């Protein structure tokens, strides 16, 4: 019988696969790759949430994550962070 769990329940087990993917992206020139960013990309772009999957399916998703999908995720994340910083600066200026 195969065990099916939510992807978040598999996260700790996935650490070696995530580290392998980080290494792969770093050899491609993405020096700031991290396991957290890769996991976040998978949750948002590939799984679109926290679906239930078998371990081999989660591993396959990690190893088949394309660099283009990862870069798209990082780009959107950077824009969201910029908007947050702009909002913080606007509030700070209002309080001065």
What are 1-54's pLDDT values in tens digits?
Answer: 689 999 999 999 999 999 999 999 999 999 999 999 999 999 999 999 999 999
Closest by Cα among 39, 46, 40 to 18: 39
Q: Give 44's DSSP letter.
A: I
Full domain range(s) for residue 75: 4-95
**What's the pLDDT at 75?**
87
Task: State if pTM tops 0.85.
Answer: no
Helix ranges restricted to H, the chain: 7-10, 15-27, 35-41, 55-63, 67-95
How many domains does the chain contain in total?
1
């Amino acid at each position: 019988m195969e065990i099916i769990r939510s992807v978040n329940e598999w996260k700790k087990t996935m650490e070696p696969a995530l580290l392998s993917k980080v290494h792969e992206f770093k050899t491609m020139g993405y020096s700031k790759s991290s396991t957290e960013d890769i996991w976040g990309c998978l949750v948002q772009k590939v799984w679109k949430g926290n679906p239930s999957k078998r371990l081999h399916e989660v591993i396959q998703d990690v190893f088949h994550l394309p660099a283009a999908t990862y870069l798209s995720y990082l780009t959107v994340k950077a824009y969201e962070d910029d908007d947050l910083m702009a909002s913080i600066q606007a509030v700070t200026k209002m309080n001065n």
